[in-house]
Amino acid sequence: MVEQGHPQLSVRQQCILLEVNRNRLEAPPAKTTPEDLRIMRLLDELHLKEPCYGARRMSLVLGRDHALPADRKRVARLMRLMGLEACWPKPRTSVPGRGHPVFPYLLRDLVIDRPNQVWCADITYIPMANGYCYLMAVMDWYSRKVLGWAVSTTMDVNLCLEAFRMAVRMAGCYPEIMNTDQGSQFTSREWVAELQQYEALRISMDGKGRWVDNVFIERLWWSFKYEDVYLKAYETPRELERGASAWMDRYNHYRPHSSLDGQTPAACYAAISKVA
């Protein structure tokens, strides 16, 4: 029903009119070359191991350890496409882009002692056999439970909205604080408007030097990729969705978490009454 090359309506507009979720469409042919996809797969693995490496060091490691002719400019371009950025303090990182809303960082010295007090969210690149997707997850900070997630072939705000709405449905409430970085998806009008419809919800954004706040969800990405994605090499977004659903369910309900005294995230989340 959705026509890829429609002369008047974009794919997004057609999906809105038909009330079809764009994430359910098959991925369009990858515009990147097979060599680019191989480099992106390696960059993804390297970033999980060495999150402080920028394009210069990534390029050196690719040439030294993998004999790949990837110069700094090429690596920088692919890292931008993947949404990867080195974790190190940069000058004036807390200054937003012009026109972007800025919200204060609310977690400094905050004692987080109950579910639904703080949620966090992040997006990661997922390599596939013949392309790539993006995965967004919303996690409860206290219990580490994944409340919502979504897969898309594009890294846009609709991916974030789908995951957040799933989290609200799954939790049956919304958080007191929603904390994210200052990425373009999280400073967009659509994302901010979605959160502001809940009057008691406060928006928090990481500022300068707060990259460490993503550690919990970055660990989730590491586990998911090494325990599932890299082993299975999914062919299509639908396969990835099914695999992610099974893995997230196992992570929440079966896998014991060392920082939770051996409890599962779901058990920890349910142990204390939810706060609406």
- For 132-144, the pLDDT digits (tens) are 999 999 999 999 9
Q: Distance (Å, rounded) from C-alpha 64 to C-alpha 62?
A: 6
Of 20-24, 148-152, 246-250, 268-272, the one with minimum mean pLDDT is 20-24
Percent of the chain having pLDDT more than 70?
A: 81
How far from chain centre, in Å, is Cα 39?
20
Of residues 213 and 51, more confidence is placed in 51
CATH 3.30.420.10 residue window(s) in the chain? 118-271
Confidence of residue 131 (pLDDT cuts 50, 70, 90): confident
Question: What's the whole-model pTM score?
Answer: 0.76
Tokens read off for 172: 């049956």
- Of 40-54, 141-155, 164-178, least confident by mean pLDDT is 40-54
Secondary-structure class of domain 118-271 per CATH: alpha beta
The model's pLDDT over 171-209, given as tens digits with 9 standing for 90+, comes to: 999 999 999 988 889 999 999 999 999 999 999 987 654
Residue scoring higher pLDDT (272 or 153): 153
Outline where the chain has alpha helix (H).
11-18, 34-49, 55-66, 72-82, 157-171, 189-196, 215-224, 230-232, 237-253, 265-271
DSSP reduced 3-state for 71: coil
